[in-house]
Amino acid sequence: MRIAILSRNKNLHSIRRLLQEAKRIGIECDVIDPLECQLVVDGRSRCIQLHGKELPVYDAVLPRIGTSITDYGLAVVKHFEILDTYVVNGSQSISESRDKFRSLQVLSAAGVRVPATVLARGSKNLRGALAAVREMPIILKVLRGTQGVGVMLLHSPISVASVLETLNTLEEDVLIQQFLKESAGRDYRVFVVGGKIVATMLRTAPTGEFRSNIHRGGEGSPITLPASYRRIAIRAAAAFGLGVAGVDLMEGPSGPTVLEVNSSPGFEGIEKATKRNIAATIMRFLAVETRKKIRRENRRKNARKSNRVLAKKRTVKKKTAKKRTNRS
């Protein structure tokens, strides 16, 4: 079995761990920089070139695409899909989960509880927006932020209006979001692989900080979540059709509330905190799903072959019957 991991940096912890586990279970694994790929179509055929040569046929692809190259990376993932390669997280799944507001739309449509949120540009109709998210303080998020960057906690309508006016001059769309004070400074990261929870971690923000991201100094510790949290995390990953997902939840006034779903979740922090071998779980899942796809393709090929044989036999029978009729 030969797979490709789409990543710009093979030295990242997650990529090194995936390569280690792939080697351990006998999977040949290549790391491909999506920005170095050239996508070729001519109306009849299509291929992907790397350094002037056509890529080999891969049994599966695992996208690990950073937010800075989302558009080009999605085009590469889509090309693999067109080539009928098994892709762990598809281009549509990545696209929808990565768009902060679109992801909330998808989750809400699937019946998953999310914080009250308003998409806005500028400070017009601010009173209505603030009323929709219920009370101050509020969270304000820049749509293109990641790892806690571009997330602000604002305590008054005046400060919200000021920030919105500034961001409007930069043509930035923003989310005005309900602040879940019930669990301020802590949230839960749930790692889901193949529709099953493989690790859960409580993330706690450092003193004076409301963002609990590990990249911002947050601390992770293992935790066993109630069944209601586990169900909503699995449903959130399924809403996007993600085979591998990191689901972030908080306790809200009405129960577990999903903040976001990550389609390329890092797992250094959660492996360290929980002592779970997440890289191995991902690789085993990928191997199982790839074999399923290969078996399905073989069944289809055999069915087509059988149909051709049967059609040929029917044709022969018709010709034989016609000859007998003519003789008579």
For domain 182-276, which architecture applies? 2-Layer Sandwich (3.30)
Q: What is the pLDDT of residue 170?
A: 63
Those residues of the chain that have pLDDT short of 70 are 122-124, 144-149, 169-171, 182, 206-218, 301, 303-307, 309-311, 313, 316, 319-328
Q: What is the pLDDT of residue 122?
A: 67
Q: pTM for the complete prediction?
A: 0.83
Task: Encode pLDDT of 221-245 as tens digits.
Answer: 899 999 999 999 999 999 999 999 9
Q: Which fold has domain 2-97?
A: Rossmann fold (3.40.50)
Residue 154, both tokens: 């604002």
Task: Encode pLDDT of 163-207 as tens digits.
Answer: 777 777 666 778 889 988 867 778 999 999 999 999 999 988 765
Q: What is the pLDDT of residue 297?
A: 75
* 154-180 residues labelled b (16+ CB within 10 A) or e (exposed): beeeebbbebbeebbeeebbbbbbbbb
Q: What is the pLDDT of residue 204?
A: 85
Domain coordinates in residue numbering, the chain:
2-97, 116-179, 182-276
* R_g (Cα) of the chain, nearest Å: 25
Q: Which fold has domain 116-179?
A: Dna Ligase; domain 1 (3.30.1490)
